[in-house]
A and B are shown apart, each in its own frame.
Chain A
Amino acid sequence: MSWRPNHTQSVFVLIAAVVAFPFFGGASATTVMALGGLYAIVAIGLNLLVGYAGKISFGHNAFMALGAYASGILTVTYDWSPLAAMLAATAGSGLVAFVIGAPILRVRGHYLAMITLAFAQIVIIVSTRWTEVTGGLTGIPGVPDFSILGFAFDTKQKMYYLIWFVTIVLFLLSFRIVDSRFGRALRALGAHEAAAASLGVDVVRCRIQIFVLSAVYAALAGSLYAHFLNYVNGTFFDLSVMIQLMAILVVGGIGTLWGPLVGAVLLVWVSHSLGSYAEYSQLIFGVLYGGALLFLPRGAVGEIAARLKGTGSRLRSG
C-alpha cells in the first residue's frame, strides 16, 4: 500500500516549502528560487497551451520581453505606478497575442510555432536596436521596486515572496482551468480536434483564449522580472530563454499540472550551476529536452505519477 498525497496536501507542502525556503536557503539561493518562480509562471501558461491545447509557441520569451519593457518604460520614462504599469503591460501583451493568434490559430498545423518564432526574432531585434525607446543594448536601468498601496517590495526576499505568491495563485488557477468546462473542452481539443469540434467545442475560440492567457502569464512574469532586477535588457529574453522554457516543460512533464513547477525549480538550479559555462546553456538545455523527449516522454512528474498509481512505467504517451 503506497502512500499517495492528494492535491490539497501537496499544495500545503508546497506553500510551506516556499515560505520556509529563505530561512534555510540563504540570500543567493533565494534569488535563484525567485527566478525559478518567474520561469514557473511562464511554464504554467505554456503548459496549458502545449500540454492541453496541443499548440506550440516559440515566442513566449518575446511576451516576457513585452511585459518587462512595458513595465520598465512606463515606470521609468512615464512615472507610472508599478501596479498600473504591470496591468497595462499584461493587458497590452494579451492584446498582441490576440492579434497574432486570432488569424493564425484558424489554420491547421504548426504555423503558430513558426509565426511566434518570427515574432520573437522581431521583438529581440527591435528591443536591442530601437535605442530611443528601449535604451538599445544598454537597456533600461533604474526600474523602481514594485509596490502596492505604499508597501514596497524593496528587498530580493520580499520580491521572492511576491513572485511565489503569484506563481502559486496562477498554479492553483491552472487547476481550476483544467477542471473547468473550458479545461475539458481544451483537453478534448488536444486529444482529437475533429471529435472535439463535433461535440460542440468551439475549437478556434478555445485555442485563441488559451494562447492569450499563456501570453498574459509570460508578460506578468516579464513585468515581475523587471522589478526584481530593477533593470530591463533585451538579451535577458533571447532564444536561450525559450529553449530553457521548453526544457522546463519537457523535463517537468508536459500535460501534467505539477510538471512546469517541478521543471522550473530543477532547471533554474541547472542553469545557475553552469556558472562560467553559461555559453553552453543552449547546448545543454537542447540536449536535455531532446533527450527527455526520447527517454522520459512523460517528464519527471508524469513518470512519478504513473509509478505512484502503480500502472508501471510501460504506458506510452506523449
Chain B
Amino acid sequence: MMDLLPVLLVNGVVFGAIYAINAIGIGLVYNTTGIINFAQGEFIMLGGMLTACLYGQAGLPLLVAIIGGVALTVVVGLLTERLFIRPLWRRGAKDWTYVFMLFAVATVLPNLVMLGVGRDPLTFPTFGGLPAVQLGSVTLSSQALWVLLVTVAVFFALQGFFDRTLLGKAMKATAINRRVAAWLGIAVEQMVAMSFGLAALLGAIGGVVFTPLISTQFDAGVSMTLNGFAAAIIGGMGNMRGAIVGGLVIGILQSISTAFISSVYGDAVTYAVLFGLLVVWPHGLFRPLIELKNEEI
C-alpha cells in the first residue's frame, strides 16, 4: 500500500495542476464581477474537444489544431460575456440571474458539442519534445511534465500581467473596487469582457495540455467546474497563489481517495470534502483578493 503512495502523489499533483488553472479562471471572473463562473469547466472541455476535432477530423497539424482550439474557445468565452452577461449587466439584473445564465451556458455548450461531435471521448497525441523524468520510483511522463510546466508558466505570466502591465493593473483595480475603478476612467465593462476572455484562455490551455493524458468528452465540464471551485474555495476566491495550493490539495486528495476508498465514489469524496471545507473554513485557507461587498454583485 505505501509503495503506491509516491505514484499517487505525483498523479495528484498533475491533476491538481489542472484544477489550479481552473480555480484561477474562476477567480478571475469572480474578481471583476463577483460572479461564480459555472461555465469554467466547459472551457476546459471545449479546448480539448475542439483541438481533438481540428486534429482528428479536419486533419490539421497538431500545433495548428491546438492554436485553433484555444482561439475558438476564447471566442466562445468572449461571446458568452457579450451576448449573455452584458445585457443582464446593463439592465442591472439581480445577482441570481447571472448564476442562472452561466448555468444555462454550461448546459447548452456540452449539449451542442454532443450534437456536433457525439458522445465518444476524444483525444489527440501527446506533445512530445520533453523527456520523461524519473523521480525515485515514479516516472513522470513527458505529457505530465508539459502539464506542470504550462501551469507554472501560466501562473508567472498572469502575475507579470497583473503586476507589470497597465491593462493588468486596470483589471486588478476593477477587482478591488469596481466603482472607484470606473471613476478613475477604467472601462469596467471591457475589464469584465477581458476576464471572461482570460478565463476561457486558461480553460482552453488547461484542456489542451491535459486531454492527451486522459481524453475528454462532452460532459466532462461539470466535474471540472466543481473541482476547480473546490480548489478556489481552499485557496480563497481570486487568490492566485491560493488557487495553486487548493488545486494541489484537491488533486492529491482525489488521487488518494480514488485508490484507497473507491474509484466509483472518487468524485463523491471530493464533493464531500468540498462541503466539509465550506463548513469549517468558508473563506478558504488563504484570504480572498476581495471580500464580496453587499451592494455589488
Contact = CB atoms under 8 A, between A and B. Distances in A.
Contact of B268 (A117, A122, A194, A293): A122
A55 B96 CA distance: 7
A107 B92 CA distance: 23
A103 B274 CA distance: 13
A111 B94 CA distance: 16
A81 interface: no
B282 A107 contact: yes
A193 interface: yes
A286 B107 contact: yes
B99 A110 contact: yes
By CB atoms of chain B within 10 A, which of A285, A290, A316 has the most?
A: A290
Given A103-B278, A103-B282, A293-B88, A110 B96 contact: yes
A280 B111 contact: yes
Given A129-B264, A282-B111, A289-B104, A294 B84 contact: yes
Contacts of A250: 100
A285 B106 CA distance: 12
Given A109-B36, A243-B107, A316-B92, A293 B292 contact: no
A126 interface: yes
A165 interface: no
Interface in A251-287: 280, 282-283, 285-287
Contacts of A297: 91, 93, 97
A219 to B, nearest CB: 19
Interface stretch (B188-196, B221-229, B248-256): B221-229
B104 A118 contact: no
Nearest to B112: A283
B104 A121 contact: no
A12 to B, nearest CB: 33
A106 interface: yes
Contacts of A58: 103
Contacts of A282: 107, 111
B279 A109 contact: no
A113 interface: yes
B274 A115 contact: yes
A218 interface: no
Interface in B17-69: 34, 36, 38
Contact of B115 (A110, A243, A283): A283
Interface string B151-163: 0000000000000
Contacts of B92: 316
Q: Taking chain B's interface residues, is the majority helix, strand, or loop, or is none over half, making it mixed?
A: helix
B97 A318 contact: yes
Contacts of B229: 114
Interface string A115-159: 101110110011001000000000000000000000000000000
A193 B34 contact: no
* Interface magnitude class on chain B: 35 or more
Given A193-B294, A283-B112, A318-B97, A114 B226 contact: yes
Q: Taking chain A's interface residues, is the majority helix, strand, or loop, or is none over half, making it mixed?
A: helix
A125 B268 contact: yes
A136 to B, nearest CB: 11
A54 interface: yes
A166 B111 CA distance: 35
B127 interface: no
Given A119-B271, A122-B271, A286-B111, A107 B93 contact: no
A118 B103 contact: no
B205 to A, nearest CB: 23
B282 A111 contact: yes
A285 B100 CA distance: 12
A56 interface: yes
A109 B93 contact: no
Given A108-B292, A316-B91, A318-B94, A293 B104 contact: yes
A74 interface: no
Nearest to B119: A279
A100 interface: yes
Given A114-B36, A121-B268, A125-B268, A283 B108 contact: yes
Contacts of A104: 278-279, 282
A290 B104 contact: yes
A318 B93 CA distance: 5
A111 B36 CA distance: 8
Given A54-B96, A114-B226, 19 more contacts: A50-B96, A58-B103, A104-B282, A107-B278, A107-B283, A108-B294, A109-B292, A115-B275, A117-B222, A118-B226, A118-B271, A119-B271, A122-B271, A125-B264, A125-B268, A283-B107, A290-B101, A294-B84, A318-B97
13 contacts: A55-B96, A108-B294, A111-B278, A121-B226, A283-B112, A285-B107, A286-B107, A286-B111, A290-B104, A293-B100, A297-B97, A318-B94, A318-B97
Interface of A: 50, 54-56, 58, 100, 103-104, 106-111, 113-115, 117-119, 121-122, 125-126, 129, 190, 193-194, 239, 243, 246, 250, 280, 282-283, 285-287, 289-290, 293-294, 297, 316, 318
The 8 tightest CB contacts between A and B, nearest first, are A290-B104, A286-B107, A283-B111, A118-B271, A103-B279, A286-B108, A107-B282, A122-B268
